[in-house]
Chain A
Amino acid sequence: MQLSGKTNLIALGALVIVLAIIPNFLANNYQVSILILIALYTIMTVGLSLLMGYAGQISLGQAVFYGFGGYITAWLAVRNDVPPIIAMLMAAIVTGVFAYVVGIPMLRLRGHYLAMATLGLNVIFELAVMQETAWTGGPDGFKGIPKFSIGDFVFETDREMYYVVWFFALLILVLSLNIVNSRVGRALRAVHASEIAAEMSGVDTAHYKVAVLVLSAVYASIAGSLYAFWIGIISPSVYHLTFSIELVVMVAIGGLASVWGAIFGAASVTLIAEGLRNILPQLLRGASGEQEIIAFGIILILVMIFLPEGLTTGSIQRLRKWRADRAMVADLQRSVDVMGGEPPRAA
């Protein structure tokens, strides 16, 4: 979906206003925490959407970068008393370097192979976190991660954290919109459309693919750090494979090549998941709420069959086509009226 700079600015302004006033209408911390989750997922989904939609590369291991961010931040902040914002920055750098190192060989793989390799990375990461207890705290994870702070100001409550997390989410959104609408964005779309053609037009495809992976990894790392500061505890269960796949669901629903769709995908999946978690145990006595995955499965399949461009991009394209068709029919009708002939009969 291509939006002009002006439309983007208006949409962004509206979003900022809505986000700024929403907390006043929220009844409890549960609702605030859901909005924080949406912001964290938005950060990651934007990155993954760039990777999947623009660069055409799938990653089923995005939770690894999220985990890198979380664990490095926790390790620096808890064991070494590094101030939060510096810990976050250092985690992002390390994660970026890590993504670069694994990305160079991995992104030479394609399709199913890349999907499996990234999945494998996730499995290995999970095992390593469980096994290397000296570094990671094993199954118990890290406890007592300090709250986020800048200088002396500590973001103590969920509501305060809400503004921090959304600040980063919006920052990343703006950055990504700029990337998409720049020379780099065009190069990426070219890579997605045809790697060979892009290569022939002088685009260094390998370079761009790795660059987007690194970018998405840095985003994920930032989200991971923020999560660690917010919750205060991190443990391996957060970085499970299922989370990586849920992120792909968010991108798929939001639209494979749509920065704005990423917010929509992150928000709808989070809300559906929370809704199901609350409703399912009532419908099905004793259900743990984990059964929500069946709904995600069905949504994924339906979206991929009927709107492979994603729910937002796909619907907008459908709508545009429908409007264009209608305009054409109207034009035809008018010309027929002018000519004074019989209206065309439907074939």
Chain B
Amino acid sequence: MAIETQILQLIFAGVTVGSIYALLALGFVVIHNVTGIVNFAQGDFAMLGALVAVTLTEKTPIFNRVFVADFNLPLPVAIALSTLIVSAIGVLFYLVAIRPAQGASIISLIIITIGAHFVFQGAALITWAADPYSLPRFTSGGPLEVIGAILTQQNMWVIGVTIFLLVLLYLFFDRTLLGKALRACAINRTAARLMGININRMALLSFALSAAIGALAGIVITPANSMSYGDGTFLSLKGFVAAIMGGLNSATGAVVGGIILGILEMFGARYLSSGYKDAIAFVVLFAILFARMSGWLKQGQTQTEEAGL
């Protein structure tokens, strides 16, 4: 394979994976902006989204093969329904675990979201056991070929859905009153409250939105990579690294961070060491955190950090 084909192929793969990280990072940013919480269970929304969608569309044995789910819904309906269900789970999570702990310390909040991660993971294990599941491809056409490098249709779906969601979110945050209210909370919670914005409702909305984005991210990758109950952990970790790369409060930054991370991972796995592929995200994380600390990336400093986060 020619070197430029190889590089292009890695970029294709990197952008695809990176799109998923970008969506997860967006989920982190939305919740963090509005509530100041970093939700360690973010990746579980993706896991749940994928597994619920599989259950709705295919014959799936659940609860230790005690039941067989046989809804047999068409894929688009299953996807929409799964996104809604996971969004509702996100709301429930907020109402049950986050709202009652208002005013808790950061350590307590971190532990709560880790607890939620355990709950989601355990519930998924009970429901779907440890088997990997996958969805059918969205479309069955041939791949796109550019100077020998291949971009499959599913990869195009991943990238396309990411772009579509970004546009949608942009319109939501920029053009609707609700979106502007969310942004106001992100800029200054107290001021937003004084302007008559219901902070609690905004926090709830941020969890609903973030869970939905997460679910969609999980759904679009599941035809290409399979999904099982434990996959939420790494998705959370990498989404968080991507979010930090973008400064943790910027949607654009999160997306750029996710895509750069995806590409770095692919190149690292290919040219450095495939065994250490999952370590690349953390090496990047350390590099960024320490660089920022020593003042090289000062502009990345956000309001929340100044507030002592």
Which residues of A come within 8 Å of B, CB atoms? 52, 56, 58, 60, 105, 108-113, 115-117, 119-121, 123-124, 127-128, 130-131, 241, 245, 248, 252, 256, 284-288, 290-301, 304-305, 308
Q: Which residue of chain A is the closest to B106 with respect to CB atoms?
A: A111
Q: What are 14 sample pairs from A and B whose C-beta atoms fall under 8 A apart?
A: A56-B107, A105-B293, A108-B293, A110-B308, A245-B114, A286-B64, A296-B115, A297-B120, A297-B122, A301-B96, A301-B112, A301-B115, A304-B101, A305-B104
Closest to A194 in B: B308
Shortest distance between the CB of A183 and any CB in chain B (Å): 24
User: Among B145-153, B157-165, B273-281, which stretch is in contact with chain A?
Assistant: B273-281
Which of B51-59, B197-205, B255-263, B283-291 contacts its partner?
B283-291
**Residues on B close to A: CB < 8 A?**
38, 40, 63-66, 96-97, 100-101, 104-112, 114-123, 125-126, 129-130, 233, 237, 240-241, 244, 273, 275-276, 278-279, 281-283, 285-286, 289-290, 293, 308-309
Are A300 and B115 in touch, CB under 8 angstroms?
yes
Q: Report Cα–Cα, A305/B118, bound state, in Å.
A: 16
Decide if A127 touches B104 in the complex (CB within 8 Å). Answer: no
Question: Which of B97, B106, B111, B279 interacts with A123 by CB under 8 Å?
Answer: B279
Is A109 touching B289 in the complex (CB atoms < 8 A)? yes
B119 engages A131 (CB within 8 Å): no
**Interchain Cβ contacts within 8 Å, total number:** 136
Q: How many angstroms from the CA of A52 to the CA of B240 in the assembled complex?
A: 22
Q: Do B237 and A120 touch across chains, with their CB atoms under 8 A apart?
A: yes
Contacts of A112 in B (CB 8 A): 38, 106, 110, 309
Whether B286 and A293, one on each chain, are in contact in the complex, defined by CB atoms closer than 8 angstroms, is: no
Take A56-B107, A127-B279 as given contacts and tell me if A304 and B118 are in contact as well, using a CB distance cutoff of 8 Å: no
- Please name all residues of chain A whose beta carbon is closer than 8 Å to the beta carbon of B129 when the two chains form the complex: 286
> Which residues does chain B contribute within 8 Å of A256, judged by CB atoms?
107
A131 contacts B276, C-beta separation under 8 Å:
yes
Complex CA–CA separation, A108 to B290 (angstroms): 9
Query: Known contacts A113-B289, A120-B286; is A300 also within 8 Å of B111 by CB?
Result: yes
Knowing A112-B110, A297-B119, A297-B122, say if A131 contacts B273 (CB, 8 Å). Answer: yes
Contact residues of A: prevailing secondary structure? helix
On chain A, the residues within 8 Å of B107 by CB distance are 52, 56, 58, 111, 256
Q: A111-B110, A304-B104 are in contact. List 10 more A-B contacts (CB 8 A).
A: A112-B38, A115-B38, A115-B110, A116-B240, A116-B244, A120-B281, A128-B279, A297-B122, A300-B114, A305-B112
Q: From residue B247, how far is it (CB to closest CB) to chain A in Å?
A: 12
- Known contacts A248-B111, A300-B115: A109-B279 contact under CB 8 Å: no
Q: For residue B241, which residues in chain A have a CB less than 8 angstroms away from its CB? A: 116, 120
Q: Are B118 and A293 in contact (CB under 8 A)?
A: yes
Nearest residue (CB) in B for A292 is: B122
